[in-house]
Amino acid sequence: MLKYLLKSILSGIAVKLFDNYRRLSVQLLKIEAAKVYLHGVRVARLSAIGLIGLGLTIALICIGAVLLHVGLFILLPWCVETKAVIAICLGLAYMLIGGLAIRAAIDERSWMEKSGAAKMLADATRQVPED
């Protein structure tokens, strides 16, 4: 009888402790999920702001380049063929510079560094020293 009573008390305590542990674990999981969600919203917001700013900057650069070339070609006293060759060379140079800029902007390594994913990956794969 005493053995049965002790088993009941100990099992009741164990169930209560495990229930408490489960509840705390669920709360911790919810907090971590909220942190990840908020980080995702922050990154999305900053990406949208950056995209808008980048679009406006590119539009201003394009307008400036077009106005600069129109003004130069109107003022220069060269023949039409010379102006055409210069326009082609400038167009190719802009395409090359734009391609290099896009390549640098979409580089996976720089995105991993800037987003902090490289640090998170290093932390997740780091070996924990054994005692």
Among residues 32, 9, 28, the alpha carbon closest in space to that of 20 is found at 28
Q: What pLDDT does 88 receive?
A: 87
Q: For residue 120, what pLDDT is reported?
A: 73
Distance CA 28, CA 21 (A): 10
Q: Please tell me the predicted confidence (pLDDT) of residue 103.
A: 85
| Residue ranges for the chain with pLDDT beneath 50 | 131
Supply the pLDDT for residue 77.
92
CA distances from 81 to 51, 67, 84, 86 (A): 39, 20, 5, 9
pLDDT of residue 79: 92
At residue 121, the 3 state secondary structure works out as helix
| Predicted pLDDT of residue 17 | 85
